[in-house]
Amino acid sequence: MSKTWRIGVAGLGTVGGGLVKFLAEAPLYAPQGGRAEVVAVSARSRKRDFDISAMTWFDDAVALAASPDIDIFVELIGGSDGPAKAAVETALKHGKPVVTANKALIAVHGQALAALAEQNGAPLLFEAAVMGGVPAVKIVREALVGEDLVAIAGILNGTCNYILTEMEATGRSFADVLAEAQRLGYAEADPTTDVGGFDAAHKIVILAALAFGSAPNYADAEIEGIEKIELADIRLAHDLGYRIKLVASAEKIGDGVSVRVHPALAPLSHPLAQAGGALNALFIEGRRVGRIFVQGRGAGEGPTAAAVAADIADVMAGAVRPVFQKPGAQLVKAPAIEGEQRLTQAYVRLLVKDEPGVIAAVSETLAEENVSIDSFLQKPVHDAGGVPIVLTTHATPEPVLLRAIQRIGALPQVLESPRMIRIARV
Amino acid sequence: MSKTWRIGVAGLGTVGGGLVKFLAEAPLYAPQGGRAEVVAVSARSRKRDFDISAMTWFDDAVALAASPDIDIFVELIGGSDGPAKAAVETALKHGKPVVTANKALIAVHGQALAALAEQNGAPLLFEAAVMGGVPAVKIVREALVGEDLVAIAGILNGTCNYILTEMEATGRSFADVLAEAQRLGYAEADPTTDVGGFDAAHKIVILAALAFGSAPNYADAEIEGIEKIELADIRLAHDLGYRIKLVASAEKIGDGVSVRVHPALAPLSHPLAQAGGALNALFIEGRRVGRIFVQGRGAGEGPTAAAVAADIADVMAGAVRPVFQKPGAQLVKAPAIEGEQRLTQAYVRLLVKDEPGVIAAVSETLAEENVSIDSFLQKPVHDAGGVPIVLTTHATPEPVLLRAIQRIGALPQVLESPRMIRIARV
């Protein structure tokens, strides 16, 4: 049984190139004998800095996916629709195992693709879609099977984490650091997917589905990016003992599941606050196992290629599992959360007039809404434009909190829209 | 194909009881249909705080392992030899999948058992043997397959970590804290396996074999426990910016592999230093994936039962893999490391006479041996017994370092044997 596992790779960017090099350097052998070999590729251009002359070239990823000369289809094109989706569907319809790093595809179409994969008896694996070389998918999907998970939360986008870390370290603005990250190749020319929180949302949607046995439900995720984070917030948060991170979280509340991405303040001593630069980090909390924390490089050629290679090895090992926790045909979306069920603690920054009675007006408004203040910070400021004050609240039902903040924003003494950032529940 | 997977459990202590409860609360379904059910048990006594009346009782674990009425044998007896080994061997000879939490058994007899399992086509899984609910075995064995791992290092014994954390927090001695831990049930009546470093050694031996593709080699592991750690060391290390942890590590050096357990100083800001109480924590470093960090509860009913359950689910998923990275029959021990290949940085505590020239004598001795000093600390002490001084060295070939320290110990101004603790390479 010394068969070669013939791999077809669609997409030869950073990860695809890394995979070709990985398998050339570190051959993966199947337990029954035989090894994985990249025999066919497809990409936009044939120009590569590694040798693909021994591989069959396909102009069209869908044709590659349908080829009878491959045993496993690896999709590294990206994008939730278009050629990536068409190629993955084609491979699955032909009963071919699919390995993909495509978080958007799985977050948006995961349920239909799972059902298609299971109908055709073909595994569909996507370890590389989440946290690069850190096996978050495997941990939730396999190691915590049957466990009663209650929450997962973490830093799932390295670009945002790099930008926030640099802003704090160098005192530069979001726009400045982003421009530099783009020059260095750490951020895309169009950075929206990363800085808008959408990439992190794709990832947490996948983990939430695995953790809570529901269908991936990207459409209902609440997403807020880091574009509005100002240096002033980073500094004031630090004064209060926090660091601002883009936190992706999924949580069971009652019968529902909350899935969201937003900037959040984590206590400086917390592992999430300490994961700096482009690192990714994740907490997984289960009723029996307690809290598991994992951290590592969430992107890049080496880590992501290693994750794809691990999925190829899993295909060769021949395990049979549902793509998510239940068969795709049985997956349903978790019920949404009512706003009142969310207890949120917040940081609120205000710019107010430098005159008596302002703090009284703000605190009266909060008291009327039954929002209690946890801490309060006013620094002497020599800016004629107004006085910045910052407060943090105790946990409050989120709609109440938002209404109170809106009322504060309408006070005549308050000079600009209040800036609210949630405090991480960690 | 709705077959029941009939589980036989030998050993109904904390983990066995946890498993019975886990499977009752959270049934594990096989992907092909059917579920796992504990149908037979064996233990020292039938007295349990959970209901086993529906399960077939076996007085003898070996008879349970051989029973034609079970499909998976779960060994939770413990110990590297005796009934645990006999029962596991019996199950494997009968072609039955084995799931075990027995670190000593795998560390000592892993190679022979792997060969026996593979001959008989029976999986042998041991996730629960290392780090409880944190899937360290799965990460190294499956997620990092093919990756070029260079080092793993971490805190693998919760009892030692608890004792060291309590000593620092409360200022009590090792003996005091150990006695309390025994009263609270955190430490065994005979604590040697834990505090002597042997439990951590079993675990790092298993991870080293998986990481480096070699045979588990407990006999050659170097093991030092925490019994000699004094409060003075904990405090002085803290003054120098370190925390003392029991660190288990495995490292590729040249063609060899170093596997050892010893107390080590980790910088206070390092995640290993920050893993307090009974937590376990582990770094895994690969050439491509960089450093992965995992942390969680390494023992206890919930986490360990969840790990056993995950292995049962893996058996039901039907993956075929070698027990270690290569077939058991092909596993060889990694070559040992020559002492000179080890570069060690050390903390050295001396008790010296309160007279002029002492520091000159100590530093001359180090200079003669080519050991350079990294930091030096002498605190004013009002103890008539002598003056404690502490120094840390730069990285030095370990035999040179040990010889230099021995020479210092022989100086007439030095009043007691020098205390050397390595600084973690983290």
DSSP conformation letters of B121-184 = T--EE-GGGSSTTS-HHHIIIIITTT--EEEEEEE--HHHHHHHHHHHHH---HHHHHHHHHHH
* SS3 annotation, chain A: CCCCEEEEEECCCHHHHHHHHHHHHCCCECCCCCEEEEEEEECCCCCCCCCCCCCEEECCHHHHHHCCCCCEEEECCCCCCHHHHHHHHHHHHCCCCEEECCHHHHHHHHHHHHHHHHHCCCCEECHHHCCCCCCHHHHHHHHCCCCCEEEEEEECCHHHHHHHHHHHHHCCCHHHHHHHHHHHCCCCCCCHHHHCCHHHHHHHHHHHHHHHCCCCCHHHCEECCCCCCCHHHHHHHHHCCEEEEEEEEEEEECCEEEEEEEEEEEECCCHHHHCCCCEEEEEEEECCCEEEEEEEECCCHHHHHHHHHHHHHHHHHCCCCCCCCCCHHHCCCCCCCCHHHCEECEEEEEEECCCCCHHHHHHHHHHHCCCCEEEEEECCCCCCCCEEEEEEECCEEHHHHHHHHHHHHCCCCECCCCEEEEECCC
Same domain, A398 and A312: no
Q: Which residue of B has its CA nearest to A127?
A: B143
The CB density around residue A223, as the number of other CB atoms within 10 Å, is 18
Annotated active-site positions of A, please?
203
Q: Which residue of B has its CA nearest to A284?
A: B296
pLDDT at site B425:
86
Contacts A274 to B, Cβ<8 Å: 269, 271
Same domain, A116 and A153: no
- B128 Cβ partners below 8 Å, 6+ apart? B15, B99, B100, B101, B304, B305, B307, B308, B311
CB within 8 Å: B26 and A146: yes
pLDDT at site A204:
98
CB within 8 Å: A294 and B290: no
Same domain, A161 and A286: yes
Closest in B18, B146, B310 to A26, CB measured: B146
Q: Which residue of A has its CA nearest to B144?
A: A310
Closest in B139, B314, B321 to A135, CB measured: B139
The domain of A45 spans: 5-133+305-330
pLDDT tens-place string over residues A248-271: 999 999 889 999 999 999 999 999
Q: Best-predicted range by mean pLDDT among A33-37, A57-61, B355-359? A: A57-61
Does B133 contact A at CB distance below 8 Å? yes
Cα of B126 to nearest chain A Cα, Å: 12
CATH code assigned at A401: 3.30.70.260
Contacts A143 to B, Cβ<8 Å: 127, 135, 138, 307, 310
Same domain, B64 and B197: no
Pairwise CA distance, residues B31 & A114, whole Å: 13
pLDDT at site A1:
45
Higher pLDDT, A117 or A337: A117
CATH code assigned at A280: 3.30.360.10
CB within 8 Å: A147 and B306: yes
Q: Which of B7, B145, B291, B316 to mutate to test the interface with A (most CBs of A within 10 A)?
A: B145
Same domain, B193 and B180: yes
Give the least confident one: A109-123, A196-210, B21-35, B169-183.
B21-35
CATH code assigned at A11: 3.40.50.720
From B85, B138, B203, B245, the catalytic residue: B203
**Backbone torsions φ then ψ of B341, nearest 5 degrees:** -75, -15
Q: Which of A257, A425, A253 has the alpha carbon at shortest distance from A325?
A: A257
Cα of B314 to nearest chain A Cα, Å: 8
Same domain, A148 and A293: yes
Q: Which residue of A has its CA nearest to B23?
A: A146
Same domain, A280 and A347: no
pLDDT tens-place string over residues A312-328: 999 999 999 999 999 99
Q: Say yes or no to pLDDT of A234 above 90.
A: yes
Does A305 contact B at CB distance below 8 Å? yes
Same domain, B113 and B140: no
Tokens of A194: 């990363």
C-alpha A190: how far from its chain's center?
A: 18
Pairwise CA distance, residues A281 & A154, whole Å: 5
Same domain, A293 and A204: yes
Tens of pLDDT along chain B (426 residues) come to 458 999 999 999 999 999 999 999 999 998 888 899 999 999 998 888 888 999 999 999 999 999 999 999 999 999 999 999 999 999 999 999 999 999 999 999 999 999 999 999 999 999 999 999 999 999 999 999 999 999 999 999 999 999 999 999 999 999 999 999 999 888 889 999 999 999 999 999 999 999 999 999 999 999 999 999 999 999 999 999 999 999 999 999 988 999 999 999 999 999 999 999 999 999 999 999 999 999 999 999 999 999 999 999 999 999 999 999 999 999 999 998 988 899 999 999 999 998 889 999 999 999 999 999 999 998 877 667 899 999 999 999 999 999 999 999 999 999 999 999 999 987
Contacts B308 to A, Cβ<8 Å: none
Pairwise CA distance, residues A192 & A173, whole Å: 17
Q: Which residue of B has its CA nearest to A141?
A: B310
8 A C-beta contact, residue B281 and residue B275: yes
Same domain, A218 and A147: yes
Same domain, A143 and A129: no
Same domain, B121 and B167: no
8 A C-beta contact, residue A310 and residue A135: yes
Model confidence, pTM: 0.96
Does B294 contact A at CB distance below 8 Å? yes
pLDDT at site A332:
94
Does A124 contact B at CB distance below 8 Å? no
Q: Position B87: which residue type?
A: A
Query: Exposure of A267 by Cβ count < 10 A (0-12 exposed, 13-18 middle, 19+ buried)?
Result: middle
The CB density around residue A233, as the number of other CB atoms within 10 Å, is 20
Closest in B31, B32, B303 to A290, CB measured: B303
Contacts B145 to A, Cβ<8 Å: 28, 309-310, 313
Q: How many CB pairs under 8 A join A and B?
A: 171
pLDDT at site B382:
66
Q: Say yes or no to pLDDT of A382 above 70.
A: no
pLDDT band at A6 (very low <50, low <70, confident <90, very high): very high
Structurally, chain B folds into a number of domains equal to 3
